[in-house]
Structure 1
Amino acid sequence: MSSTSSDPAGAVERALRTALYDTADAALDAGASLLAADPASDAELARRGAEFVAALWRRGWQPADLVRIVRRDLEGAHVGLVAALIRAQARDDRARGRRWAAQLAELPTGPPPSGDRFSHATAVLELYRLLLRLPGLDPLDEPGHGRGHHHRGPAAGSPADSSARMLTRIRALLAKAEATGFPEEAEALTAKAQELMARHSVDEALLDARAPAPDAPGACRIGVEPPYEQAKAVLLDAVADANHCRAVWNEPFAFSTVVGFEADLEAVELLYTSLLVQAQSAMAKAEAAQRASGRRRTKTFRQSFLAAYAHRVGTRLRAAAETQVSDDLLPVLASREVAVTAATDRMFPQTVSTRLRGVTDEAGWTEGAEAADRARVRSRPRLP
């Protein structure tokens, strides 16, 4: 028979003090037992969790970062718990910009907690243990939030409204390109998407140059998750560089921070995601062909495949970047490049280079390079 407490806050405090600052399983079990025996503590426990989430926001974390690290280090039940905490905290939170709102909208949904109260309390305490141990991250300024793009306004027919329609078209084209089984159709769809991305970036650069208060660079985080995270980080770096951005990889927390202007950050997110989908599809086909010929493919093959893909795509993107800008746009882009480099140096005064490991499979490298040559990459069009 469960007991009830006249002091839910005290019960939660005792459970947290017992379980969160001791890594032993016995301490976790003791804390979970206290919570399981006191249903009146549930609301207070959830309130404390929302406080932990708010504290992480103050230390530079964002919703997608938190979901990513919980998914990596814990289990599916914990992902559902942290998503619920983030939603609860957001109801009392301030507005934080478009990217933050998009992350909230993309939070995973799942069934309500199942099982006995002890199991549920154990999962909650395991999650809180992780949240308390997370270090601070470099805070990100969202481009256009509170400055810059904000002065243009979202009214129908405005540049902001036109930009939203453009990005919707780009996403739709890339989604079709990734889904089709016909290479010619995929190439045509992706080429069109690339043209729209290029036009979007050029239009934004020229509009910003004429604005009375030009935008400053912002930053976003893009997940770079195992397996083969090194090769994926190289691919993201190549895409960022070709789109006038800088990428800094944080291997322990499975993301890269990309610094740049808003239109270019959008292009990096869309192109990186599309190329990664194309790479995964091409790798699956290459492995099937290898198996059909009687050769067994390994993790080394896949690592070498993606490394070669990233290297070759980077070469193609850099070559395209050298010829895609007309002379009249060079001063604008040069000024923006200086601003992006300065912003990156402020955020990351110390960075180190990383060498790719495990790239030893010749067949994987060859197949990956050939797949990169087939990937849909197109230079930006010149200004008329």
Structure 2
Amino acid sequence: MTSSQPSTVDRAFQSALYDDTDPGLDTGASFLAADSGADAELVRRGREFVAAAWRRGWQPADVVRLVRRELDDPHVRLAAGLIRAQVPDDRPRGPRWQAQLDALPQEDGHARVGDRFSHATAVLELYRLLLRLPALEPLDEPGPRATAHRPQSRMLTRIRALLAKAEATGYPEEAEALSAKAQELMARHSVDEALLAAGAPAPDAPGACRIGVEPPYEQAKAVLLDAVATANHCRAVWNEPLAFSTVVGFEADLEAVELLHTSLLVQATHAMAKAEAAQRAGGRKRTKTFRQSFLAAYAHRVGDRLRAAARSAVAETEAPQALLPVLATRELAVTDRMQQMFPDTTTTRLRGVTDEAGWTEGTRAADQAQVHSHTQLP
């Protein structure tokens, strides 16, 4: 009795996936390039790698972000195609997952990358990465009541539009008016959600989402995200090696954090470019330390402003005494959820914050950022 021979894909995997050398990769790609009959099995095995990533806590946006950082655009397209191909085999997911699927690159992920050998090489490089994905903390999807309330996202659509206009306009007064209106809508949305949850028979539990915190100057960007999350009664935990922060909070607040953080980051980038131009015009060469110090100061100062604005927002609420116990209960639920997900966390000190001019300019830019008393509640 003879044993069955390993398939071409098995031989390729043995050479390329369990051997990190370039010769092993070339050998595996050669096996696949010579056997067109192995193509269907190769795609099927890729879907299995994707499903394994979901079981380890990864989500579509996480995979695409890592592939884009570690590999090249053709690998991103291949990954997007595999993720789409795996959907029929997957269990039902929530709206945040679906939004990530909708945001995948639109190119056909199974289009060939050059000749058969080049394509096989790219596929094996992608599979190497997927095979070695570490386990992540699983993220809960929004509960049934939160999903049922999704129509209120029309307000978030309006907020997005207001912030986009604030970022694009060249007139400070117009930007301030647009941002103030956006913050007012955020506060209303947050208060409404909190009071609705308090009166529900089965209140929602906090969930979580991941937000990319990409180089350069990722430490300062993580500090900015932490400040925005805290002001919006969420908590953020930064994963530096994988370039993202996990934000824990109730669904409406998670959406507000994503919106406000993105807007402030855009405003900070624009302000930093303007400050650098002024420094160069004055004959002073700006460096990486200037930019790092600028963003660190910006994040620090914006955090102060958000906390002050949060206190004002509570004071302006029509029934603050009735609202405070609701907010306290939600705050405790978020903290408990974060501690369950991340029982062991450490703090880190910002590096490279040594440029006085950068700190001064970053503080000035934060004072001019569009954060007003109508921001989210704490």
CA distance in 1, matches of 2:259, 2:130: 30
Aligned to 1:220, which of 209, 212, 224? 209
Provide the residue aligned with 1:82 in structure 2. 79
Provide the residue aligned with 1:27 in structure 2. 24
Preserved contact between residue 320 and residue 379 of structure 1 (Cα < 8 Å): yes
CA distance in 1, matches of 2:296, 2:310: 21
Q: Which has the larger displacement, 274-283 or 177-186?
A: 177-186
Change (3 A) 1:68 1:160: closer
Preserved contact between residue 231 and residue 376 of structure 2 (Cα < 8 Å): no
CA distance in 2, matches of 1:105, 1:254: 22
TM-score, structure 1 length as denominator? 0.93
Provide the residue aligned with 2:317 in structure 1. none
Identity %: 75
CA distance in 1, matches of 2:308, 2:375: 14
Preserved contact between residue 180 and residue 186 of structure 1 (Cα < 8 Å): yes
Preserved contact between residue 8 and residue 40 of structure 1 (Cα < 8 Å): no
Aligned CA-pair RMSD: 1.7
Provide the residue aligned with 1:238 in structure 2. 227
Aligned to 1:66, which of 39, 55, 63? 63
CA distance in 2, matches of 1:382, 1:8: 63
- Displacement after TM superposition at 1:189 (Å): 1.0
Unaligned 5+ runs, structure 2 = 315-319
CA distance in 2, matches of 1:345, 1:351: 9
- Displacement after TM superposition at 1:134 (Å): 1.1
Aligned to 2:365, which of 359, 364, 371? 371
Provide the residue aligned with 2:51 in structure 1. 54
Preserved contact between residue 307 and residue 365 of structure 1 (Cα < 8 Å): yes
- Displacement after TM superposition at 1:9 (Å): 8.1
Name the aligned partner's letter for residue 87 of structure 1: R
Secondary structure in structure 2 of the residue aligned to 1:249: strand
Preserved contact between residue 148 and residue 215 of structure 1 (Cα < 8 Å): yes
Aligned to 1:92, which of 60, 70, 89? 89
- Displacement after TM superposition at 1:359 (Å): 0.3
Name the aligned partner's letter for residue 44 of structure 1: E
Preserved contact between residue 279 and residue 285 of structure 2 (Cα < 8 Å): yes
- Aligned residue runs from structure 1 range 164-313, under 5 A: 164-313=153-302
Instruction: Count how many residue pairs are aligned between Structure 1 and Structure 2.
Output: 367
Preserved contact between residue 186 and residue 375 of structure 2 (Cα < 8 Å): no
Preserved contact between residue 159 and residue 186 of structure 2 (Cα < 8 Å): yes
Name the aligned partner's letter for residue 364 of structure 1: G
CA distance in 2, matches of 1:97, 1:309: 35
Secondary structure in structure 2 of the residue aligned to 1:324: helix
Name the aligned partner's letter for residue 70 of structure 1: V
Q: State yes or no: 1:116 paired with 2:110.
A: no
Unaligned 5+ runs, structure 1 = 1-6, 154-158
Name the aligned partner's letter for residue 85 of structure 1: L
TM-score, structure 2 length as denominator? 0.94
- Report Cα offsets for 1:48-76 as digits up to 9, x if no partner: 11110000101100001111111111111
- Displacement after TM superposition at 1:113 (Å): 3.1
CA distance in 2, matches of 1:13, 1:114: 21
Preserved contact between residue 187 and residue 313 of structure 2 (Cα < 8 Å): no
